Structure 1
């Protein structure tokens, strides 16, 4: 078994059982204690688990604890920086999709200041409202079931509306980015919207501030190598950046 396959199997076990023991893993995979410890060390560095005496336990990113109103106050400068980088990948007249998020609100604000004509599809009530005065923008809001905490629409109706379109680019804001576990998020309804937006997009760009790189959330959205580009902020550690680049993941932070 290759090292990557073994690490994937370890993650599957820890997700199912909540913890793993080194002694059990050495017998299961017929490898040395040192090999398992190296595997666990790598997985810990990638944010997938936390090592403890004799084994490891599952580690989850805790972004879910905050609702929209609280999240919009966090990492404001980083979100604005990401938005300025993101709009470099948009051309006048293109069609784009934005899922509901505090980062994509900053993208919407940057769009107003830098473009005359765009088509924007979103499930976010706040993004639609942000663009309401841009009279040459075509804004398509999905409708659906309004989540009052998130200020966004979810459910089958919202998903079916998205499925009717094809857009040039999708900008997906997520809670976790991991080389092994891919792009992840917490809210099941939001993940379904993200998946639908990815399906209709010619190019998918993930937006995540540096605190979310090398972390995992509850639900997988997409494999990392299925994403065209990841945009983060300049605070990302250079070692983490180089790790992603060496693994063939295109990630920019400036």
Structure 2
């Protein structure tokens, strides 16, 4: 419960920039004394800066909290998609996990029940999730650190990719637009994702249904360049028909319908 409360405080401060102690108590359902104790702990960890009567996020915490906020979006769908993706893993194979928040859920699933694998990733959070697991050999791709996504990108990362071949690639996307292409928010991320797809025997797109018909500026590749899509059953029927026409095998994981 403390972890949930801390997370709520962080997300509230990320969304609002500053909040009074009373406001945080109401947002979390905790007492003012408890909130003050939490804020003291967060300040010691360098996450927040306390002010008279309230707190704001510390400067260096902004990018990390932006990432953590996205981790929480559609979390039920991301976890269900990760469970389905876990079922595709083959022991003693070499896989690449990109830096997306849905792929991060696959890393967390793998931590619960490790499989003997060689794992490559450009995601700092993904690599941290897989620390100290005896069955895994974890390799972190180098390059320029993109703070917004806690990912390594750039020409050096792409050159390193050219030295490897992966049995499976699990990647996310910011959006799948009406032209049936994957899009992302950063040109270097888009370029690296294209290089990933070119270096694998099986590319699996992990994307919850909210990503379809969303928008982002930088094209990655057609969804037909992936070998499988795992999404959730809230996917619009027209999109499901479209993916069938494109001959992309699609797994719809079951979720309750939104109210």
Change (3 A) 1:208 1:87: same
Does residue 151 (structure 1) correspond to residue 160 (structure 2)? The answer is no
Q: For the residues of structure 2 that align with 1:110 and 1:87, how far apart are their CA atoms?
A: 7
Classify the secondary structure of the residue corresponding to 1:198.
helix
Change (3 A) 1:69 1:113: closer
Q: For the residues of structure 2 that align with 1:110 and 1:217, how far apart are their CA atoms?
A: 28
- Cα RMSD of the aligned pairs, angstroms, is 1.8
Q: Match of 2:216?
A: 217
Q: For the residues of structure 2 that align with 1:171 and 1:110, how far apart are their CA atoms?
A: 13
Q: Match of 1:189?
A: 188
Q: Match of 2:227?
A: 228
Q: Once the two structures are superposed, what CA deviation does each residue of 1:189-213 show, in whole Å capped at 9, x if it has no partner?
A: 2112211211110111111110011
> Larger deviation: 206-215 or 232-241?
232-241
Change (3 A) 1:88 1:154: same
Instruction: Say whether the 8 Å CA contact 1:178–1:224 is kept in structure 2.
Output: no
Q: Once the two structures are superposed, what CA deviation does each residue of 1:81-111 show, in whole Å capped at 9, x if it has no partner?
A: 1100111211111111111111111010112
Instruction: Say whether the 8 Å CA contact 2:114–2:133 is kept in structure 1.
Output: no
Q: Match of 1:88?
A: 87
Q: For the residues of structure 2 that align with 1:225 and 1:147, how far apart are their CA atoms?
A: 27
5 Å matches for 1:121-140? 121-140=120-139
Compute the TM-score of the two structures, normalised by the length of structure 1.
Answer: 0.69
Q: For the residues of structure 1 that align with 2:145 and 2:245, how far apart are their CA atoms?
A: 41
**C-alpha displacement of 1:69:** 2.4
Q: Match of 1:98?
A: 97
Q: For the residues of structure 1 that align with 2:225 and 2:165, how far apart are their CA atoms?
A: 18
5 Å matches for 1:194-209? 194-209=193-208
**C-alpha displacement of 1:228:** 0.8
Change (3 A) 1:96 1:179: farther
**C-alpha displacement of 1:68:** 1.3
**C-alpha displacement of 1:161:** 1.6
Q: Match of 2:74?
A: 75
Q: Match of 1:162?
A: 161
Q: For the residues of structure 1 that align with 2:208 and 2:214, how far apart are their CA atoms?
A: 11
Q: Once the two structures are superposed, what CA deviation does each residue of 1:46-70 show, in whole Å capped at 9, x if it has no partner?
A: xxxxxxxxxxxxxxxxxxxx93122
**C-alpha displacement of 1:116:** 2.7
**C-alpha displacement of 1:140:** 0.8
Instruction: Say whether the 8 Å CA contact 1:100–1:122 is kept in structure 2.
Output: yes
Instruction: Say whether the 8 Å CA contact 2:183–2:219 is kept in structure 1.
Output: yes
Q: Can you give the 5+ residue segments of structure 1 that lack an aligned partner in the other structure?
A: 1-65
**C-alpha displacement of 1:181:** 4.1
Compute the TM-score of the two structures, normalised by the length of structure 2.
Answer: 0.68
Instruction: Say whether the 8 Å CA contact 2:174–2:184 is kept in structure 1.
Output: yes
Q: For the residues of structure 1 that align with 2:88 and 2:155, how far apart are their CA atoms?
A: 30
Q: Match of 1:17?
A: none
Q: For the residues of structure 2 that align with 1:180 and 1:151, how far apart are their CA atoms?
A: 28
**C-alpha displacement of 1:75:** 0.8
